[in-house]
């Protein structure tokens, strides 16, 4: 029988106070880690968290939900957005943030990186340099932005992408033109409404990177959200072999039937 794992944030969670204006509480139960942030009026990342962790911007990828209040967010490219109570959010690394208004902003964060938030410098270990892992992150952003030139710089000219399943898109696409054609077919079948949002990567530090992603696509008026992964094998600094895996192969096949 499967185990039932229960943890209580208030009772069991790790409290990480900010420099001022609030705190983060981190807890885990089985396969879930969740962070709850309480950001008081006057809180700003660059003033209340930066002194604890260092760096020029928050480097945690947030996947969360705003329970109450409002928060402004500025990305490194100058883009500014505001999230409010009831909003789901996917905020990439590289940002500043601040509370808007005179109400506490309370958020829940289920990102795989949530456990790193507001973690003191003495508790953190600097990641290894990994050019292949960085290339995968760049590649996902390029895919979603239809940046073909960047993709051509990441994929080997003789790359192959293996697409599992039984649908019309299943098969092996050999050569960079065929792989890019496959991406074009995904866009065509969904009228341009296909995204693959990167959740996390696992690397061996050598030639292999596994990317875990969430796909959101709309076809014939139906929107599907599913998870999958790609095993990348690199050779000479470029992705040579890409093997897709699906959490719900039958459902994805039915969507692209």
| CA proximity to 176, closest of 244, 246, 238 | 238
Predicted local distance difference test score (pLDDT) of residue 15: 96
The model's pTM: 0.91
SS3 content of the chain, % helix, strand, coil (to 5): 25, 45, 35
Report the C-alpha gap between 25 and 32 in whole angstroms: 14
199 pLDDT above the threshold of 80: yes
Residue 129's Cβ-count burial label (10 Å; 0-12, 13-18, 19+) is exposed
201-217: per-residue pLDDT in tens? 999 999 999 999 999 99
E runs forming strands in 40-113: 62-68, 70-75, 80-84, 88-91, 95-100, 105-109
Report the C-alpha gap between 59 and 143 in whole angstroms: 22
Predicted local distance difference test score (pLDDT) of residue 125: 77
Predicted local distance difference test score (pLDDT) of residue 124: 72
122 pLDDT above the threshold of 70: no
23-64: per-residue pLDDT in tens? 999 999 999 999 999 999 999 999 999 999 999 999 999 999
């Amino acid at each position: 029988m499967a185990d039932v794992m229960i943890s209580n944030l208030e009772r069991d969670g790790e409290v990480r106070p900010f420099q001022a204006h609030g705190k983060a509480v981190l807890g885990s139960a089985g396969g879930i880690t969740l962070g709850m942030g309480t950001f008081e009026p006057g809180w700003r990342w660059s003033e209340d968290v930066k002194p604890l962790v260092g760096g020029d911007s928050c480097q945690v990828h947030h996947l969360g939900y705003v329970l109450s209040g409002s928060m402004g967010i500025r990305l490194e490219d100058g883009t500014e957005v505001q999230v409010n109570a009831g909003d789901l959010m996917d905020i990439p690394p590289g940002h500043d943030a601040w509370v808007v208004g005179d109400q506490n902003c309370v958020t829940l964060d289920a990102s795989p990186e949530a456990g790193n938030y507001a973690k003191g410098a003495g508790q953190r270990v600097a990641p290894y340099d990994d050019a292949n892992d960085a290339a995968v992150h760049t590649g996902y952003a390029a895919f979603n932005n239809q940046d073909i030139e960047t993709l051509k710089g990441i994929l080997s000219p003789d790359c192959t992408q293996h697409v599992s399943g039984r649908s019309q898109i299943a098969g092996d696409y050999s050569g960079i033109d065929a792989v890019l054609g496959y991406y074009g077919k995904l866009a065509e079948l969904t009228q341009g409404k296909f995204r693959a949002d990167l959740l996390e990567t696992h690397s061996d530090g050598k030639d292999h990177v596994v990317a875990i992603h969430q796909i959101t696509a709309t076809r014939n008026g139906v929107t599907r959200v599913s998870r999958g992964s790609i095993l990348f094998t690199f050779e000479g600094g470029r992705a040579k072999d890409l093997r897709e895996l699906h959490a719900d192969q039958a459902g994805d096949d039915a969507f692209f039937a």
